[in-house]
Structure 1
Amino acid sequence: MASFILRRLIGLIPVMGIVLVIVFSLVRFIPGDPAVTLLGPGATQEQIDALRGQLDLDKSFPVQFLNYVAGLLQGDFGVSLKTGEPVAQEILARLPATIELAVLALLAAIVIGIPIGVLSATRPNSMFDHITRVVSLVGVSMPAFLLALILQLLFGTYLGLLPVSGRMNSFIISEPVTGFAILDGIITGNGAAVWSAVQHLILPATVLAAFLGATLGRFVRNSMLEVMSEDFIRTAKAKGLRRGEVILGHGLRNSLLPAITVIGLKFAEMLGGTILTETIFAWPGIGRYMFEAIKNRDYPVIQGTTLVFALLFVVTSILVDLLYGVLDPRVRKKMK
């Protein structure tokens, strides 16, 4: 197991290197000059040239790249061209909001998707199965921005039940401890902050959970149908085991092993795919931070957030492989 972890960690180096080269190259092709964007259309050419020199934008591409890599080796992601603040510091300040949103969406998708998949598999071709398959198809097919707008109009504008933007009501003062709004409210005993944070999380988490829950429900259903037709299921039934024991102890248990891979990979995609959702709901995470950086042509922020997203994806993939090895002895044997 230790050698497997070491090999995967070593494999991170070329992967992150390739991501770094691609991202550093692509952001240079974004139309417009960051110096002109920062100074405004009324700036003189002398002012633009001075700012380009201050930001090292007047240097050649290889020199800029080597300077950036040298900074990364020291933990320096650069300085935001828009705010003048260290990129690493701003990412760390926004990362808890993104993780909190993604984790809640993941839990909601698991709690809803797996039971629906199991019930559909145990009642194939029933009315419930047909309805859940249609709902799952809609959940997989519906664009996130469309679902977000529908939920905002319905629960925010028409019914007025839930907030449609932000992370917490502005009149509530919450002392930051960990950066996670709900956890901070619990630690400090601020019930109003906890309730406000939960309310603000519901709509954006629903948008993220819809696709994953629908995907997970369809996957568990198909996997369960395949497992329930295996010989060991018939043997369990012949032994006189109760239906619940057969379904949950044998069918679901063996169906969840491949589902874990789907959950892990989709969670990694969710961490990097919150850009649109965070922007629509004005959620102060790194997804929205990256979107604003793209609009402002803020090279260091675009590069830093992309590297963080790539790192989160690769690390999550490694954790999924380890968990798969823990649950499946056959995989664990191959890891040695």
Structure 2
Amino acid sequence: MGRFLLRRLLALVPVLLIVLAIVFAMSRLIPGDPAITLLGPGATEGQIAALRAQLHLDEPGWRQFLSYLGGLARGDLGTSLKTGAPVLSEIATRLPATMELAVLATILAVAIGVPVGVLSAVRPNSGFDHATRLVALTGVSTPAFLLALVLQLVFGIALGWLPISGRTDPVIFLDSVTGFAVPDALLAGNWEAAWDALAHLILPALVLAAFLGATLSRFVRDSMIEAMAEDYIRTARAKGLPNRSVVFVHALRNALLPAVTILGLKFAELLGGAILTETVFAWPGVGRYMFDAIRNRDYPVVQGATLVFALLFMLVTVLVDLVHGWLDPRIRARMT
């Protein structure tokens, strides 16, 4: 297991270099000049040229890339062209907000998607199965930004139940211990702040959980139906085992393998793919930070955020492989 993990981690290095090279090249294809964006349309040619020289934007692309790699070797992701702040510290400040949102969305998706998938598999082609299939298709097909706007309109504006933007109310102050708003409030014993932070989390988490929960329920259903047709299930039934034991002990454990794969990959996508959701809800996470960077042509931020997202995605895939080995002894035997 240890050698397998070491090989997987070493394999991340060339992949990250390829991702970085692609992002570095594509970021330079964004229309416009960062110097003009920073100075405004009224800037003179001399001011633009001076700023380009100051930011090293007048150097050849290959020299900029090698300089950036040298910074990475020292743990430096560069400096934001817009704010002048180190990109690494900016991402570290915003990453807990994105993680908190993704974790809650995943919990909601699992809590809804897995039971719905199991019940649909136990009663295939029933009215419940057809209804959940329709709901799942709607959840997969609905654009995230549209669902976000609908939830804001209904629960935030029409009913006034939940806040529609931000992470906490501006009048609430919390000392950051973990970087996660809800745990920090609970650690401080501030129940009002904890509820306020959770209330701000609910709508954006529901938007992200809708697609993941719908996808997960379909995967669990299909995997469960396939598992229920296996010989060992018929043997378990012939031995007189209770139906609950057959379904949840024997069938579900094997059906979870493909579900774990899709859950891990989708969780990694939530970390890097919540840009629209964070923007609509004014959520102060890395996704919104990256969106603003793309709009401002802030190359170091785009490169640094993409690199962090790529690293998180690959680490999650390694974790998924380890979970597979824990669930299936046959896979664990090959991890040598």
- Do the structures match in fold with TM over 0.5? yes
Is the Cα–Cα contact under 8 Å of residues 253 and 327 in structure 2 kept in the other structure? Answer: no
Offset at 1:46?
1.2
Per-residue CA distance 1:118-164 (angstroms, 9 max, x = gap):
11111111111111111011111111111111101110111111111
Structure 2 matches for 1:1-336, cutoff 5 A?
1-336=1-336
| SS of match in other structure, 1:166 | coil
Contact conserved, 2:162 with 2:199, CA < 8 A, in 1?
yes
**Partner amino acid, structure 1, of 2:119:** L
Q: State how many pairs are aligned.
A: 336
Structure 1: how far apart are the matches of 2:184 and 2:153?
30
Equivalent position amino acid for 1:260 in 2: V
In structure 1, C-alpha distance between the alignment counterparts of 2:69 and 2:29, rounded to whole Å: 19
Residue by residue over 1:51-101, the C-alpha shift from the partner in whole angstroms, topping out at 9 and shown as x without a partner, is 111100111111111110000110111110111100000000000000000
- Distance in 2, matches of 1:244 and 1:335, equals 32
Please list the CA deviations of residues 253-312 of structure 1 after superposition, one character each: whole Å capped at 9, or x if unmatched.
111122111111111111111001100100000000000000000000000000011001
The one-letter amino acid paired with 1:52 is R
Report the 3-state secondary structure (helix = DSSP H, G, I; strand = E; otherwise coil) of the residue aligned with 2:92: helix
CA distance in 1, matches of 2:9, 2:109: 29
Letter in 1 for 2:77: F
Inter-partner Cα distance in structure 2 for 1:243 and 1:178: 43
Mapped to 2, the partners of 1:34 and 1:125 lie a distance apart of 56
State how far apart, in whole Å, the 2-side matches of 1:271 and 1:11 are: 21
Q: Output the TM-score relative to the length of structure 2.
A: 0.99
Q: For residues 290 and 321 of structure 1, what CA distance do their matches in structure 2 show? A: 29
CA contact (8 A) 2:224 2:251 kept: yes
In the alignment, the residues of structure 2 paired with residue 230 and residue 165 of structure 1 have an alpha-carbon distance, to the nearest angstrom, of: 49
The whole-number CA distance in structure 2 between the counterparts of 1:226 and 1:71 is: 51
* Gap regions ≥5 residues in structure 2: none
How many angstroms does 1:326 deviate by? 1.5
Relative to the length of structure 1, the TM-score reads: 0.99
Question: In structure 1, how many angstroms separate the alpha carbons of the residues matched to 2:254 and 2:5?
Answer: 25
Whether the 8 Å CA contact 2:152–2:203 is kept in 1: the answer is yes
Give distance in 1, aligned partners of 2:323 and 2:247: 22
What residue identity is the alignment partner of 1:57? L
What is the identity, as a one-letter code, of the residue corresponding to 1:47? Q
The structural deviation recorded for 1:323 is 1.1
What secondary structure sits across from 2:28 in the alignment? helix
Supply the distance in 2 between the matched residues of 1:130 and 1:326 (Cα, whole angstroms): 33
Partner of 1:29, secondary structure, is coil
Amino acid at match of 1:217: S
3-state SS of the aligned residue for 1:270? helix
Percent of residue pairs identical:
65
Partner Cα distance (1:62, 1:130) in 2: 56
- State the distance in 2 between where 1:187 and 1:33 align: 46
Q: Distance in 1 between matches of 2:174 and 2:296?
A: 30
Query: What is the identity, as a one-letter code, of the residue corresponding to 2:127?
Result: M
Q: Where in structure 1 are there 5+ consecutive unaligned residues?
A: none
Q: Distance in 2 between matches of 1:26 and 1:223?
A: 39
Q: Distance in 2 between matches of 1:8 and 1:105?
A: 28
Structure 1 runs, 4 residues or longer, greater than 4 Å off: none
Name the CA distance, whole Å, in 2 between partners of 1:333 and 1:41.
Answer: 63
